A and B are shown apart, each in its own frame.
Chain A
């Protein structure tokens, strides 16, 4: 489903050149749950951003559903992200001025789904993460675990084929982290959603189908 071929990412300034990713080859099949591990600064988030079409590789190809992405035109990429991908961030990234429902509706808004359908789909997504009773709350009225569940609802509301989670349990205690992991595992097994997760937690990584280890931008396992 997702193929990375000889992907390199270099950050250049006037004086220095940093290799963030070096010759990465990765093949992710539909329905796979893959975790990416490695020390801080090894390029995990950079890799996730490239898979998530948020960033462009310096070299190499990214293929989604067998077709190579030709050019990183911002409009086309935005549309692809909206249709195929869902994101979960470590620090939740909920918009504080929007209610829980409005936050969850966000991807549907850019898909131009009608207001009634948006409302229904957001309620269903929130129900699936057990937060339907917090629908009119604002993010600052929720606990960390609740915020992340709202973020998961936002990621799944448009039924994307792929979910990219950047340390989704990193800001949560072990109990809440466990709950979030259970939701993700459930999503993967029930909906056959492909999940790519960056984590520092070995225990969480062990629950996924495949583990990829990075060190200094290189794939070591």
Chain B
């Protein structure tokens, strides 16, 4: 019976071509936009390389050193008792401002206090954000650099096109080796293959390329070149005695359930850690909070001090946007569907006369609507893929490279289904309830 409904749905679409074209345009445009939103979310917060394990990751972004100032407030009170003046004085301590410093970590600090987090299966410390310029054939090539350890390649699954990441020995021996992205290879060498063993100049120093990777395509890891953290040029930042120095840490759990345990471990370590000696003259409170990947990501985007709150707000905004994008066209489609089905009330009467009950009619029209939505969805998918390529080619979203993967197609399929169901059920229900005699008296077939 379902195949009959599908066959009929396709024929009904051909009945009023102008009406069908308008409906399909509405559906496909809506779904294309929704698919783009899915792609952005999937790229930024979904499980895509090099952050496939982001659900198991805990990020330690920064160190806070603080000194709290207190004021003593005296209350001077006098009362008369038996003609004598009694003086009563009390005092309270009240917070009166604080001296705060908040920055990423020095490498030695992470190494000393956070290299043995009990529930972390693996970890990496890295420093990003510095940009160096190099000149190739008189044109400037900008290089965003990340300094890190050999575990970087274990925690993050960068996609290697050629070669591999540097190991522990290269880091220890301060070897001038580098892994670069295909984007940088293209700008620097004009090609994206056979570059292993080539030299690249950065900040007056030559590095030998030992790996070529696809760009991460996410804002957190916007990087062109990755080198061992041990190079002398950055030593001063590494060894800043106050504990600050531009590094952050990623800890990896065995499962996503470990995130909570790792956070507790870090909280415990924090409680046992003293302010670095060099900073003790200025600060007496030390604080470092760990966050799940998504919390940190939301914190970066919304720039609120509270990462957990940022995540909650971001989720709310995204849900609201998606809800709005679904709701408005759905209402429109419901309206269109009511008028489309009204035209077929006589058909409903005939079907009921020959034995279709309310449930059968409801199923028929919902299936028809889902078929229509999926045709619109297919057009929308083509539109979304084209738009996605345009956005990526023109770098309209900066470092974010929108990706297509199986989950993208599954989510898109589910959205089509939801859209079809929601916009079809109400009109179909309304019509399926129509009395058979009334339905037969409506417009002639």
Contact = CB atoms under 8 A, between A and B. Distances in A.
Contacts of A83: 355
Contacts of A52: 353
B161 to A, nearest CB: 53
Interface stretch (B120-128, B140-148, B167-175, B344-352): B344-352
Given A95-B445, A97-B8, A110 B354 contact: yes
A69 interface: no
A107 interface: yes
Contacts of B346: 93
A74 B437 contact: no
Size category, A interface: 20 to 34
B445 A106 contact: no
A48 B30 CA distance: 48
B445 A92 contact: yes
Interface stretch (B201-209, B229-237, B356-364, B392-400): B356-364
B437 A93 contact: no
Interface string B349-383: 11111111111100000000000000000000000
Interface in A57-103: 74-75, 78-79, 81-83, 87, 89, 91-98, 102
A154 interface: yes
A10 interface: no
A81 B445 contact: no
Contacts of A106: 350-351, 354
Given A81-B355, A110-B355, A95 B350 contact: yes
B4 A102 contact: yes
Nearest to B435: A55
Interface in A175-217: none
Contacts of A54: 352-353, 436-437, 440
Contacts of B360: 78, 110
A93 B344 CA distance: 11
Given A55-B437, A91-B444, A97 B11 contact: yes
Among B8, B11, B355, B436, the most chain A Cβ lie within 10 Å of the Cβ of: B355
A82 B353 CA distance: 8
Given A91-B444, A98-B8, A109-B1, A81 B354 contact: yes
B12 interface: yes
Contact of A96 (B353, B357, B445): B445
B15 interface: yes
Interface of B: 1, 4, 7-8, 11-12, 15, 346-347, 349-360, 435-437, 440, 444-445
Interface of A: 49, 52, 54-55, 74-75, 78-79, 81-83, 87, 89, 91-98, 102, 106-107, 109-112, 139, 154
B424 to A, nearest CB: 17
A191 to B, nearest CB: 19
User: Which label, helix, strand, loop or mixed, suits the secondary structure of the B interface?
Assistant: helix
B7 to A, nearest CB: 8
A87 B354 contact: yes
Among B1, B349, B360, B437, the most chain A Cβ lie within 10 Å of the Cβ of: B437
A110 B1 CA distance: 8
Given A92-B445, A95-B445, A98-B8, A111 B353 contact: no
Contacts of A109: 1, 4
A107 B15 contact: no
Contact of A94 (B7, B356, B445): B445
A171 to B, nearest CB: 10
Contact of B357 (A55, A74, A98): A74
Contacts of A75: 357-359
A168 to B, nearest CB: 14
Contact of A110 (B7, B356, B436, B445): B356
Closest 3 CB pairs of A and B: A82-B355, A110-B355, A78-B357
Nearest to A107: B354
Contacts of B359: 75
Nearest to B355: A82
B8 A78 contact: no
A89 B354 CA distance: 12
13 contacts: A54-B353, A74-B358, A75-B357, A78-B352, A81-B354, A96-B15, A97-B15, A98-B11, A102-B7, A106-B351, A107-B354, A111-B355, A154-B354
Contacts of B15: 96-97
Contacts of B11: 97-98
Nearest to B14: A97
Contacts of A89: 350, 440
Given A92-B445, A110-B351, 15 more contacts: A55-B435, A55-B437, A75-B357, A75-B358, A75-B359, A78-B352, A95-B350, A95-B445, A97-B11, A98-B8, A102-B7, A106-B351, A110-B360, A112-B1, A139-B445
A116 B444 CA distance: 31
A214 to B, nearest CB: 17
A49 B359 CA distance: 22
Contacts of B444: 91, 93
Contact of B355 (A79, A94, A96, A102): A79
Contacts of A98: 8, 11
A77 to B, nearest CB: 8
Among B8, B11, B445, the most chain A Cβ lie within 10 Å of the Cβ of: B445
Nearest to B3: A115
Nearest to A93: B350
A58 to B, nearest CB: 14
A112 B357 CA distance: 13
B200 to A, nearest CB: 66
B95 to A, nearest CB: 73
A120 B9 CA distance: 24
A210 to B, nearest CB: 24
Given A93-B346, A93-B445, A94-B445, A87 B353 contact: yes
